[in-house]
Amino acid sequence: MSKFIDRMAANNAQNGFYGQDILSVSQFGRADLDYIFTVAHEMRVLVERFGSADLLHGKLLANLFYEPSTRTSASFMAAMQRLGGQVIPINGVQYSSVSKGESLPDTVRTLESYADLIVLRHPEVGSAAIAAQYCAKPIINAGDGVGEHPTQALLDLFTIVEELGDVTGKKIIMVGDLKFGRTVHSLTKLLVNYDVEFTFVSPDILRMPQDVLDVVKAAGKQATITEDVHNCIADADVLYVTRVQKERFADLAVYDNLKDRYVVDPALMGHAKPNMIVMHPLPRVNEISYAVDSDPRAAYFRQMRNGMYVRMALLAAVLGKA
């Protein structure tokens, strides 16, 4: 155990994230990703062997969530506690002074007086960057509206590496709500660091935003845009499925019309490669049938578990001191 802590301390001496905000995946280059994934792997071993460590003993995290969350909020709490730190959970802002009209800057100023780091989920694009301007302590973006979800993208990429051994040369299909789904925005921007091919499958009105397509183009990666998942499934190495983001629709009749457009079921899986993996950031509503859960290619529950290891690695990088 003490060897593990020594190794973490040595790692932290080389890590560029100490004391930094984590706002966007654009902060991560290949060397950073290798570093985070190596540490995440160690975190898995640590949890399986010992359950916890005291690397972040005495540190305090504030979990500030203005939007619903199960996995992101619980896995940050679990990650912090498994590393010996503690958490101030503010998951229902309706019970905080936010409901009295307190602004985001004042709320983060308050929490920075108590905690060493703030994890923030907020409905507005750019909110994490704004919070970071007002906050002397590191902010981790846990989803800023339809913008980014960088820690989800890290755990998604880690899952691809863990499941398939490598990212290089892989064909990645993203299907569903590519317009409002922040996880696919971040994951695409992260995957351009590798030699991959993209296929973006969605109804026309839920297409991948142009700024994300521009990043793909600027990186010289190939992207196919289609509405039909059947004609590309046979070649895929990764099928990344997303929920239609009901909460982003002004007109729920439009949502109702789109919500069941793509459903991954055993019949569709029958056309996929034997070693393809199905991923989903979760929660799923109807887009993956429960009959797929027992297929060994269903990686979404393993993906969810990886979230804790990756967030442990990130917290150790941002808060751990050599």
User: Please, which residue, 21 or 144, has the CB nearer to ligand NCD?
Assistant: 144
- How many helices (DSSP H) and strands (DSSP E) are in the chain? 11, 9
Q: How far is the CB of 231 from ligand NCD (least distance, A)?
A: 25
User: Please, which residue, 12 or 152, has the CB nearer to ligand NCD?
Assistant: 152
Q: Which two tokens stand for residue 146?
A: 């339809």
- State the residues that interact with ligand NCD by CB under 6 A: 71-72, 143, 149, 152, 182-183, 243, 281-282
User: Please, which residue, 221 or 311, has the CB nearer to ligand NCD?
Assistant: 311
User: Please, which residue, 14 or 26, has the CB nearer to ligand NCD?
Assistant: 26
Q: Which two tokens stand for residue 116?
A: 């060493």
User: Please, which residue, 18 or 249, has the CB nearer to ligand NCD?
Assistant: 249
Q: How far is the CB of 62 from ligand NCD (least distance, A)?
A: 18
Q: How far is the CB of 125 from ligand NCD (least distance, A)?
A: 13
User: Please, which residue, 127 or 152, has the CB nearer to ligand NCD?
Assistant: 152
Three-state secondary structure along the chain?
CHHHHHHHHHHHHHCCCCCCCECCHHHCCHHHHHHHHHHHHHHHHHHHHCCCCCCCCCCEEEEEECCCCCHHHHHHHHHHHHCCCEEEEECCHHHCHHHHCCCHHHHHHHHHCCCCEEEEEECCCCHHHHHHHHCCCCEEEEEECCCCCHHHHHHHHHHHHHHHCCCCCCEEEEECCCCCCHHHHHHHHHHCCCCCEEEEECCHHHCCCHHHHHHHHHCCCEEEEECCCCCCHHHCCEEEECCCCHHHCCCHHHHHHHCCCCCECHHHHCCCCCCCEEECCCCCCCCECHHHCCCCCECHHHHHHHHHHHHHHHHHHHHCCC
Q: How far is the CB of 247 from ligand NCD (least distance, A)?
A: 8
Give 207-214's long-range contacts (Cβ < 8 A, gap of 24+).
207/178, 207/179, 208/174, 208/178, 208/179, 208/184, 209/178, 209/179, 209/185, 212/184, 212/185, 212/188
User: Please, which residue, 171 or 182, has the CB nearer to ligand NCD?
Assistant: 182
Q: How far is the CB of 215 from ligand NCD (least distance, A)?
A: 19
Bridge partners (DSSP) listed for residue 119: 63, 140
User: Please, which residue, 87 or 142, has the CB nearer to ligand NCD?
Assistant: 142
Q: How far is the CB of 45 from ligand NCD (least distance, A)?
A: 24
Q: How far is the CB of 115 from ligand NCD (least distance, A)?
A: 21
Q: How far is the CB of 251 from ligand NCD (least distance, A)?
A: 19
Q: How far is the CB of 289 from ligand NCD (least distance, A)?
A: 17
User: Please, which residue, 55 or 244, has the CB nearer to ligand NCD?
Assistant: 244
